[in-house]
Amino acid sequence: MLKWSLPAAALLGAALFVAPALSTAGVVERAVPVPVPTLDVKPSKGEQVAVLAGGCFWGMEAVFQSVKGVHSVTNGYAGGTAQTATYAQVSTEKTGHAEAVRIAFDPKKVSYGTLLRVYFSVAHDPTQLNRQYPDTGPSYRSAIFPQNAEQRQVAAAYIDQLTKAKAFTKPIVTKLETGNFYPAEAFHQDFFWRNPTYPYIVRYDKPKVAAFRNAYPLLVN
């Protein structure tokens, strides 16, 4: 999110300010067509977890909460340390964290590869280095935090597949990283749904969710 756009009241944990909506003119509600991953994580019993970073977590959270088979999505900070995993500190762009989402999902209903497909095609722009649209800085970087060796193999293979397929006109800058995930403050959770008229949500995130629904109707929960 734009650092200056988050109300001071929210930083103090108070009620969020709801500002007038901005126009969505110029925002394309269309996903980038990307191929199905040729390699995927094998389905297993029980819940699996994916951790993905791609700019402001408000929109990322809303997209993946809309995916069938996803049990929960948590906004947070990946990488860095527990001591500096707060919004105020991460916003200094000196902590090494990335705004990210932790996705808990049923692998029998949606695969890790499918989540990566949504991630690359609609949840964010993987060609933007250390930024996403108006947000700049390394905390807004495109990064995947594999939770095991199989996820790392699948993610690396998919980036290679997309690169060879020339799915994007610019190089993919997404990196595979290691690091822990730390949940963000309570006021960041479910922000999209609790603040539907917030300017940033209207301008950048509602079109993103619409693009997902239009491109992947069979995946919508």
Query: Which tokens sit at 162?
Result: 């997309």
Q: How far apart are CA 184 and CA 100, in angstroms?
A: 9
The pairing of strands 48-54 and 131-132 is unpaired
At 198, the amino acid letter reads Y
- Report in angstroms the alpha-carbon separations of 40 from 54, 155, 158, 159, 161: 21, 9, 9, 12, 12
- Report in angstroms the alpha-carbon separations of 142 from 32, 97, 103, 145: 16, 12, 16, 10
**Known catalytic membership, residue 31:** no
Phi-psi category of 55—alpha, beta or left, where left has phi over 0 and alpha has psi -120 to 50? left
> What is the enclosing helix (H) or strand (E) of 213?
helix 206-215
Of the candidates 6, 50, 56, 184, the residue annotated as catalytic is 56
Q: How far apart are CA 160 and CA 130, in angstroms?
A: 20
Backbone angles phi, psi at 123, to 5 degrees: -75, -25
Q: How far apart are CA 182 and CA 106, in angstroms?
A: 22
Active site residues per annotation: 56
